[in-house]
Structure formats: C-alpha cells, structure tokens
Amino acid sequence: MSHTGLTEADIPADLFARYNPGGFFCELTHPRPDDGDVPALLRRRLSHIGLEALRSRAEAAETELIDLGITFTVYSESTAIDRILPFDCIPRILTPSEWKHIEAGAIQRVAAINAFLGDIYGDAKIVKDGVVPGDLVFQNPCFRPEMIGFPIRHGSYVNVCGIDIVRDEAGTFRILEDNARTPSGVSYVVENRHLMLRAFPDLAAGMRLRPVDDYGYRLRAALEEMAPVPDPEARAVLLSPGIYNSAYFEHVFLAREMGIPLVQGSDLHVENARVYMRTTAGPRPVHAIYRRLNDDFLDPTVFRPDSMLGVPGLIDAWRAGNVAIANAVGTGVADDKAIYAYMPRVIRYYLGEDPILPNVETNICREKEALAYTLDHLDKLVVKPVGESGGYGITVGPRASRAELEAARAALLADPANWISQGMIPLSVGPTLTDDGIAPRHVDLRPFVVTGRDSWVLPGGLTRVALRRDSLIVNSSQGGGSKDTWVLADQPGRALAN
C-alpha cells in the first residue's frame, strides 16, 4: 500500500495510455494555448469512469435516443427505415480562440453568399466582370429564373446556413462545403448537449461551456426580422413535408424550440396573395415560413404541378411582400460544388477581404486542364459529383479499388461538368469509444449560421465522426455518428471549476 492509502487496484487505468492519433491532428490531445486544461481534466475523468462503465452508459444513452424518437430515415435502404444518429460520449473541444476564428469565417462566408445570390438574381455583375462563369450560374439546375428581381428583405437569401469545416494535419480549419438550401442536423447539436448532461454529468461538471439552448429563439427572431410586419406581430410557422421526411424529427424539435406551429402544405392556403393557416378557430394569417422542403415542391402553380406538399399561390404571396420564406428559393446555386471553387474570389469581389477560412483546393473538371489533371492523378484525389449530398457518389482515390477508379474515370469522361476533384485532406481525429477501446476517428464540424438583419453562429455546431476505422466519410447516411461540441467560454483565469 502506498503512503496515500491507495492500492494499485484503486488507481484508475489511463484509458489514453495506448491512444495514438497516428500523425493526424487530434482534437483532444493536441496542445493548445487557451484550452484551460480542459482536455487533460476530461482525460482524467474518462479514465476514472473506466471503459466498461463508459460502454454501459453509452448504450443507455443510445437507448434513450430511440425512446425519444431522435431518428433519421435512410431511403436507400429498403430494410432500414428509421435510425438513430450514433452518439459518441467523448466530446470535441474548441478553445475560445479557435471558435472566434471559425465564427468570423462563417459570418464572412454567409455575407458573401448572400451578396452573390442578390447579384445573380439582379444585375449579375459578377458574371459580367468575368469572376464566375455565366453557365455555372444560369445553367445550374438550382438557378430559379422566377427569383430574378425578387425583393428579399435585408438581402438575406440564406437565413440558415450549415458550413462543413475540416481541419488538416497542420491544424488549419478549411471549408469543405456550403449548405445554403435546407441544412439539417442542428437538432443533434442541442440534443447531444442534453444527452451529455444527463448521461455523463460527471464529465461536464464545472466546465464553463458556451450554451447551445438559445438556437430556437435566435432562429425565430431572424424569421420575425424577415417578416413584412413588425416583429411582435409576426406569426411564423415551420413548413414540413411530413412524417416520411428523413429529418422529420428535426422539424418537430425545431418547431417546439421556436414555439411556432409545425404545418404541412395542406394546413396553409393563399387568399388575395396572403397566406393563412387553417385552425379550429378559423384562418390565421402567416407572415414568415421556415420551410424544410425543396424548391420544386413549394408551390405547384410555379414549380412542379404534381406537388402535393406545397401551397398553391405561395410564391405570388411572397412576391407581393405579404410573407417571408426562409431560406429563399434558388439558394442552391450558392452551395453547388462547382461554385464552391470560386468562393474565395466571390469573397474578395463583394467584401474586398481575403477568406478567413480557406477552401480545400479544388479542381473543376469542366475545365480542360483540371479534367486532365484529375484523370492523371485519380488514385490520389477525392472525386465528387457537384449536385449530390450526404456523401453519395464520392470516390476516395487513395482508398478505391481498381474497378472503382475505372468507374470514376468513365463517369468523368462521360460528363466532366458534373464533377470536381480535391486532394485528400488528412482530416483531424477525435478520441472515440469503440469496440477496441478509445481510438482515433476522423471528424468534421458543421457550424450553423442564423441570419436576419445580422448573423449569429450557434457556438460549436455539429461534430460528425466517421465511426468506421480509417473512414473519411462522416455523413450519417454513410455510417457516421456525432459528438457533443464543447466551445470553451472566453473568461479570465481557468476555464473550468473543479
């Protein structure tokens, strides 16, 4: 027995004794000057709990997700309708300086996106000045001619934007993708925090963390700022395609968090270019709509005439200035993967600033030289279709089979304009609870930017984790999970209380 009175059996095993990030930047173990000793304390607390107890509590937490109905739908799998998004109990930590950098870069990005959309649906000066090719804009399937000259309050076409950010081996944050249409996943940011506090209170105890609970309030405030009537009088609703949508849980969650009705197209009607909600007490006017269905289905009198999900006459009511719709129609042009490659130029053109968060270097295969380079280096590049999301259609060259590379080559030659390629970024890793203990798994980050008159960024965002060993695909539909994202509060002295 030692002089402390503890036996060797009383001292918890260090769960990180064999942890090896393998040369990747680690989001927990890499030293950062303003981390407030939080990572070291978190490692000690995890070791004190022990591996078996962590696994038991993690299983109970996933059972709770099922009981709460926190699920998403994978349509591509006939045998799997609803799934939970697997939750990893080891949080990802962002220091105050890291968060300030991400926050500033995200706000800058959204400002440039909104300026770009206002321009291409106006005078299209950026095209006339040769900064962005016209065919990438006007032949883009997401470009909506109906939006030309359309008045958008505050110039805020994108009221909710999810920006996918990765960190490379040098620790540099880079933007991988913009999501300017109907970005999903914010419900998991809030629920992951709630789940962490319920299932692992001893990990979070005393930590000074930036809160995530006011997202609903912020989004509702932005909607009211967009509405054509004074804020206190604005009545907002969340328009959902219904229970069969993959993100329906999130629609229910957000409507509750915002304190607004959750409606489907059949619950609304337009009369004299004004939108009304059907209620048991009679029709009630609607001034702002947070829509979670795609452009094509929004109004059958303007877009798909066979849509049963939208509201006939909705676009006319919007054009008349009697309702606001968030996000605006036609925002998909801005998050197209081909336009993505031009975003550094777009930022400089509209804002006169260098990008705070750089892009991943991108080759646009519609361009002859870029196509030739991609074909010559196919086994070293990641090839992506410009119009897909969710991780579908991607070929990771260094990890692809010969047959997969040949299939990618054929697709590139058949339709070069549909593809981009990027160098394979060695994504940062975070310690993750696996069957083999605590092991590194690749992660990304999706901060959510809410914009009305001004922009606000939800502290932290969604950290997605590739649960499969060596996988770089973090998308939930491709086997990814998520972590709670801890943004440390910027306070003098220690960033935690023991």
What is residue 4's predicted lDDT score, i.e. its pLDDT?
Answer: 43
Quote the CA–CA distance of 443 and 429 in Å, as a whole number: 6
Q: Does residue 7 have a pLDDT over 70?
A: no
CATH tag, 362-423 = 3.30.1490.270
User: Stretch 111-125: mean pLDDT, rounded?
Assistant: 98
Amino acid occupying residue 7: T
Q: Which residue has the higher pLDDT, 80 or 280?
A: 280
pLDDT of 19 over the 70 cut: yes
Length of the chain: 498
Asked whether residue 72 carries a pLDDT value surpassing 60, the answer given is: no
Residues of the chain with CATH 3.30.1490.270: 362-423
pLDDT tens, residue by residue, 317-362 = 999 999 999 999 999 999 888 899 999 999 999 999 999 999 998 9
Task: Please report, rounded to a whole number, the percentage of residues in the chain having pLDDT higher than 70.
Answer: 91
Instruction: Look at residue 497 in the predicted model and tell me its pLDDT.
Output: 36
**How far, rounded to the nearest angstrom, does the alpha carbon of residue 110 sit from its chain's CA centroid?**
13
Cα separation, 409 vs 126, whole angstroms: 33
d(CA 349, CA 401): 41
Helix (H) or strand (E) segment spanning residue 223: helix 215-226
User: How far lies 347's CA from each of 115, 354, 444, in Å?
Assistant: 9, 7, 23
pLDDT, mean of residues 44-59: 95
CA 455 to chain centre: 16
Q: Where in the chain is the domain with CATH 3.40.50.11290?
A: 228-322
pLDDT mean over 294-314: 97
Q: Write the CATH number of the domain with boundaries 228-322.
A: 3.40.50.11290
pLDDT at 12: 66
* Mean pLDDT computed over every residue of the chain: 91
Question: Could you write out the DSSP letters of every residue in 308-359?
Answer: SSS-TTHHHHHHTTS-EEESPTTGGGTT-HHHHTTHHHHHHHHH-S--SSPB
Of 84 and 100, which is predicted with more confidence?
Answer: 100
Q: Which residues on neighbouring strands pair with residue 381, listed in sequence order?
A: 423
Amino acid making up residue 366: R
Order of strands across the sheet that contains 284-286: 268-271, 274-277, 284-286
Whether the per-residue pLDDT at 62 is higher than 70: the answer is: yes
The H or E element spanning position 93 is: strand 87-94
Q: How large is the average pLDDT for residues 441-459?
A: 97
User: Can you tell me the mean pLDDT for 260-272?
Assistant: 98
Decide if pLDDT at 496 tops 50.
no
Phi, psi of 401 (to 5 degrees): -75, 170
Q: pLDDT tens for residues 350-409? A: 999 999 999 998 998 988 999 999 999 999 999 999 866 656 788 999 989 999 999 999
pLDDT value of residue 8: 44
Amino acid at 243: I
DSSP 209: B
What is the predicted pLDDT for the residue at 477?
64
Angle at 235 between CA 147 and CA 151, to 5 degrees: 20
Distance CA 224, CA 325 (A): 11
Tell whether the model's pLDDT for residue 1 goes beyond 60.
no
B/e letters for 330-350, b = 16+ CB within 10 Å, e = fewer, are bbbbbbbbbbbbbbbebbebb
pLDDT value, residue 246: 83
Sign, CA dihedral 174-179-185-187, equals positive
Q: What tens digit of pLDDT does each residue of 171-220 get?
A: 999 999 999 999 999 999 999 999 999 999 999 999 999 999 999 999 99
Phi then psi dihedrals of residue 218, to 5 deg: -65, -40
H/E run at residue 318: helix 314-319
The CA–CA distances, whole Å, from 198 to 18, 64, 248, 257 equal 29, 10, 24, 19
Which DSSP state fits 496?
A: B
pLDDT at 42 over 80: yes
For residue 478, what pLDDT band results from cuts at 50, 70 and 90?
A: low
What's the rounded Cα separation, in Å, for the pair 260 and 152?
22
Structure tokens at 236: 């907002």
pLDDT over 60 at 130, yes or no:
yes
Q: Write down the pLDDT at residue 63.
A: 85
Give pLDDT, residue 386. Answer: 84
Instruction: Tell me the pLDDT band of 412, cut-offs 50, 70 and 90.
Output: very high
Query: Is 60 exceeded by the pLDDT of residue 3?
Result: no
pLDDT digit string, tens, across residues 162-181: 999 999 999 999 999 999 99
